[in-house]
Amino acid sequence: MGHALTFAVTWEPFLRGIIVVLIGIAVLCGSVYILLGTNLGGRLGFLVAVGAFFGWVALMSAVWWVYGIGLKGKDPSWKPVAIVNAPAQLASNDIIGGDQFLQATETQRQAGWRLLAPDDPERGQAVAASDDILQNQAQVFKAGDYLTVAVFDKGGERYPKFGRFDFFAFLHKPHYALVKVQPVIKQNTEPGKAPPTPQVDPNAQPKFVLMERDLGNRRRPAALICIGSTIIFLFLCRWLHRRDKLVAANRSATSPSESLEPVSTGA
């Protein structure tokens, strides 16, 4: 039995990680409680130790909340909205803008859209997301069968804003990306030579991938931990303060007189 337990702890990282965390918590919190309990008493030492623990958790989670580190939620990502197989279908899509998008050139602002430059980091993220949608989720193309022609961006503005002051602009308008892809001309690869550079097939019909930005909830777990720990910490501080007031009042109270009045026996 002992050899089996040793084997499981040694070769199972998940179980070993749980045991290490439990031992660390027991040693850290237990040693602090023992030290406080021997000086303040069991009950008061427990209140002080628990209050200090939740105060530390509140400070740590506040740092996580500000910088978006530590225990994180879901990161921002692009979510598919629609795959438009023909330019004529753009006119029936209210998000894209219909005829206004078709009649304008790709270098102009059209129905609120802006063309992203090839070196724009947002373009790279949108292209990577559209590749995953086309190849893995929708399985429309295989890798190397198409090229990204253009990437458009729309929305995502923060509000409310008071002039240039945007400290309280916590809300966002919907953020969309439109990726235009087109099939490539199939070329023969000669043995021993590098594959030819892919070329867009001008006779092929382009496709458009419409995506919406999901802002995620990266800071939500840290925010909930910070708020909850702060409430518990303030409650324990209030409890300790009330106890100190009661102790001070009891110590300052006058003790009852131990003297006895003489009793008259009469003559």
pLDDT in tens, 117-126: 989 999 999 9
Per 3-state DSSP, the chain is made up of helix, strand and coil in percentages (nearest 5) of 45, 20, 35
Tell me which DSSP letter residue 122 carries: H
pLDDT value at residue 267: 43
Tell me which DSSP letter residue 215 carries: -
Instruction: Kindly give the residue spans of alpha helices, DSSP state H, lying in 1-77.
Output: 2-11, 13-40, 42-67
Q: Is residue 253 part of a domain?
A: no
Q: Are residues 135 and 44 in the same domain?
A: no
Q: Is residue 160 part of a domain?
A: yes
Helices (H) and strands (E) in the chain, counts: 6, 7
Q: Are residues 176 and 230 in the same domain?
A: no
Number of domains in the chain: 2
Name the residue range of residue 106's domain.
77-187+196-214
Q: Cβ distance 196 to 187 under 8 Å?
A: yes
62's tokens: 């506040």
Q: Are residues 11 and 82 in the same domain?
A: no
Q: Cα separation of 133 and 151, whole Å?
A: 15
Q: Cα separation of 209 and 175, whole Å?
A: 14
pLDDT value at residue 132: 94
Q: Is residue 128 part of a domain?
A: yes
13 preceded by cis ω (within 30°)?
A: no
Q: Are residues 157 and 136 in the same domain?
A: yes
First to last CA, the chain: 92
Which residues of the chain fall below pLDDT 50?
Answer: 107, 258-260, 263-267
Q: Is residue 255 part of a domain?
A: no
Spell out the residues 6+ positions from residue 114 whose beta carbon is closer than 8 angstroms to its own. 152, 153, 154
Q: Are residues 203 and 232 in the same domain?
A: no
Q: Is residue 251 part of a domain?
A: no
Question: pLDDT tens digits for 118-158?
Answer: 899 999 999 999 999 999 998 889 988 999 999 999 998 88
Q: Is residue 260 part of a domain?
A: no
Edge-first strand listing for the sheet containing 146-155:
77-84, 207-214, 175-183, 146-155, 114-115
Strand partners, 4: none
Q: Are residues 8 and 96 in the same domain?
A: no
CA angle (73, 75, 81) in 5-degree steps: 125
pLDDT value at residue 258: 45
Instruction: Kindly give the residue spans of alpha helices, DSSP state H, lying in 106-219.
Output: 121-132
pLDDT value at residue 224: 97
Q: Are residues 208 and 84 in the same domain?
A: yes
Q: Which residue do the tokens 């019909």 mark?
A: 205
Q: Are residues 38 and 111 in the same domain?
A: no
Q: Is residue 252 part of a domain?
A: no
Q: Residue 266: left (phi > 0), alpha (psi -120 to 50), or beta?
A: left
Q: Is residue 257 part of a domain?
A: no
Q: Are residues 93 and 183 in the same domain?
A: yes
Closest alpha carbon to 125 in 137, 138, 116, 112: 116
pLDDT value at residue 265: 47
| Phi, psi (rounded to 5 degrees) for 144 | 90, -5
Q: Are residues 59 and 83 in the same domain?
A: no
Q: Are residues 47 and 163 in the same domain?
A: no
Q: Are residues 40 and 114 in the same domain?
A: no
pLDDT value at residue 259: 46
